């Protein structure tokens, strides 16, 4: 799946069945459902999920918690807006 197909699936309200949980979380966040996105990854400890978890807490405005999850993911908080970060996360994790 490429980024265009991922974004199209959001517009069509058709989540792909084979997405890993961290990409499912980004998909739900792209639909505007932060809670569903967070619920999907809240208990996961892998680095990709921690990275998405960090982004979600940054979006929520809980910067302390976001910084904790960026650290768990081995990432630094980016100096870009949230839309750009969402897009970079989608590209990054679709390519893996």
Distance separating alpha carbons of residues 18 and 74, to the nearest angstrom: 26
Residue 86 CB coordination number (10 Å)? 18
Structural domains in the chain, sorted by start: 20-94 (1.25.40)
How does pLDDT run across 9-64, given as a tens digit for each residue? Answer: 999 999 999 999 999 999 999 999 999 999 999 999 999 999 999 999 999 999 99
Contact (CB, 8 A) for 52 and 89 = yes
pLDDT of residue 37: 98
What's the pLDDT at 96? 86
| Averaged pLDDT for residues 76-85 | 97
């Amino acid at each position: 799946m490429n980024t265009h197909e991922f974004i199209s699936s959001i517009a069509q309200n058709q989540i792909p069945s084979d997405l890993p949980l961290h990409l499912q979380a980004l998909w739900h966040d792209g639909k505007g459902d932060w809670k569903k996105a967070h619920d999907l990854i809240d208990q996961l400890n892998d680095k990709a999920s921690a990275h998405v978890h960090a982004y979600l807490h940054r979006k929520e405005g809980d910067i302390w918690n976001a910084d904790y999850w960026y650290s768990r993911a081995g990432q630094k908080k980016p100096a870009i807006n949230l839309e750009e970060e969402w897009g970079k996360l989608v590209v990054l994790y679709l390519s893996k």
